Every structure is written in structure tokens, then in C-alpha cells.
Amino acid sequence: MSAKPDLKIVLCSPRGFCAGVVRAIDTVERALDKYGAPVYVRHEIVHNKYVVDGLKKKGAIFVEELAEIPENTTAPVVFSAHGVPKSVPADAQSRNLFSLDATCPLVTKVHREAAIHFKRGREIFLIGHSHHPEVVGTLGQLPPGAVTLIETAEDAKTITPQDPDNLAFVTQTTLSIDDTAEIVALLKERFPNINGPHKEDICYATTNRQLAVKKVAPVVDALIVVGAPNSSNSQRLREVAEREGCKIAVLAQRATDIDWGKFGNIASLGITAGASAPEVIVEEIMDAFAERYTLHVETVSAAEENEFFPLPRQVRPEAAAE
């Protein structure tokens, strides 16, 4: 039997779960422990099939709209990490549903910024991707027409506000740092008085994972991003790898997604994971490569992360409340 070829694995750090994702998943699990099954969850709690399937097995029921939840239920209803339009908690309250808000605090920060700009009478631009649940939630914080979505640099070049001197912008938290910087630069060039966030809206986890990929992508033959196709931050990691010159940059939800034909002649492989992808899948993919190669593993770090977000009050451990 011939010896397996060598393969250098370069792990990006940080990768995988961020504090907002941990908080959201823990919220569902604590609700199941405290109140029992079922626990209803509006939309995927985070964009990862492995995580969602694991919670389903424990008794979580995922719905897209509150209308799918039975009348008169006393079961908890959890709002996903991406945030929801204001109409959703209002609807839950009108139906006397017991709701738990697992919105990431960094998304809530964007909601508050938008509300302050609106209160001050400013026309608001939201830089983001249409139909993404986070964007739908942010747009839904204010009356229709109060926020205009900007998706591309072309939008930034052509948008015509009512009052160019009374503008503000906020952004989706999971965007490409570089793409967003280009759009913001165009807006500031056209509208010098535009009000931006005091602290950048793109979250620390998105930024740090992209910085790690920027370090690794130019020095490996291929890079795998563990993440789901509908995960914005995972898709941005793949795009960053391509932009940094990595010839083979792919997204994989599980090891079974790997197209081995693409990885036949590589000597080095970078691996990262989107903010909603669990480390167990990184290990699963490394095991799959270990069956075909002799692995030599190193880690490249771009930042240290120690952020922690407290759980919603209703599901905090009793000890923490004392």
C-alpha cells in the first residue's frame, strides 16, 4: 500500500461560533431544559443545518412565521439571532405568546442606531443584502420608506436622497469589510455630511474571520469555508479567499459536500468556519482529508476573541441572578 501524500493544513483563527451565535443556541437549549419541548423558533436560529437539526432532535420546532404556531400554546417562542421586524414581537404580544429574543446584541445595536437617526429626522441608508433576515429585521424597525437599501457600489453612486445634507447610514453586521468600505467611501465622497455609526457596524467576529482568511488564502493551494450557502458571513469568507488569490475556495456544510476532484493536486489547504458553523464539522472535514493525506497542521491567528453576551433574562441560570 503506497504512502499517503503529505498535506499541510492551515487552520484560520478565529473561526466558527461567535458570541452572538453561542447566545442564540444557548437560549434555545436553556428554554428546552427549563420549559420542556416544544420550543418554537422563528426562522433558523442561526444559518447552519447541523445546528438546526441538532436542536430539532431536542424538541425545537422551526417556523418561518408566527402564524404557524398553534393558538393558545404556552410553549416559548424564540426569535433568531438575525433579529426581527418590530411587527413580530407586537404580533407575539397580541397572541399572548411567551417570547424570548435571541437577537445578537450587535444587531440590536444597529437597530438602535437606525431608530436614533430616524428620531433626528435623517434619511437612512442601510448597506446590506436584500431578503437576508437581518436586513429584513432592520428595515422593519422603522416605518416603510424610512430606510433605503444600498446593496452595491453602483447603488451608492446613483442613489438620489431627498436632502443630501441630512443623511445617515447603518450596515448589516456580516458584510465584506472591503466591499462595505468601498460603498461607505463613495457615500462620504458624494455626501460629506452623512452620519455614520460611532463604532463600525460590521461585527468583530465577521471582521476577525475575514482578517484570518486574508492571512491564509495567499499561502495555500485551496481553502474550505465551513458554512451554509445562506450564511452571509460564510459566503463573504469564500469571496475574501478568492479576492486574496486563492485558486480553489469553496463552501462546505459537511465533509460529504467536498468535491474531491478539486483537491487532487494540492500540497496545502486552509480551513476556516463561518460564525454559525460548529467546530465539530471542521474536525469532520479534517478527518476526511486524513483518510487521503498525511496531515501536518498549523494555526494562523488574526485576533484573540473573548466576547460574551448574557442570555435573555428568562433563561439565565438562577445562580447568575443572585
Residues involved in catalysis: 134
104 is in an annotated binding site: yes
Closest residue by Cα to residue 298 from 205, 215, 207: 215
173 is in an annotated binding site: yes
18 is in an annotated binding site: yes
Cβ proximity of 135 and 149 under 8 Å: yes
276 is in an annotated binding site: yes
Buried b (16+ CB within 10 A) or exposed e, 103-135: bbebbbbbbebbeebbeeebbbbbbbbeebbbb
Cβ proximity of 251 and 234 under 8 Å: yes
Quickly count: other Cβ atoms within 10 Å of residue 220's Cβ. 24
Closest residue by Cα to residue 257 from 230, 295, 226: 226
Longest dimension (CA), the chain: 73
Angle at 114 between CA 112 and CA 115, to 5 degrees: 65
306 is in an annotated binding site: no
166 is in an annotated binding site: no
301 is in an annotated binding site: no
Element (H, E) at 252: strand 248-252
- Residue 308 CB-half CA count within 13 A: 3
232 is in an annotated binding site: yes
43 is in an annotated binding site: no
Phi, psi of 46 (to 5 degrees): -140, 160
234 is in an annotated binding site: no
Cβ proximity of 276 and 44 under 8 Å: no
Closest residue by Cα to residue 84 from 99, 103, 97: 103
- Mark the binding-site residues, compressed into ranges: 18, 47, 82, 104, 132, 173, 203, 231-233, 276
Binding-site positions for isopentenyl diphosphate: 47, 82, 132, 231-233, 276
- Binding-site annotation, residues for [4Fe-4S] cluster: 18, 104, 203
Q: Which residues are annotated as a binding site for dimethylallyl diphosphate?
A: 47, 82, 132, 231-233, 276
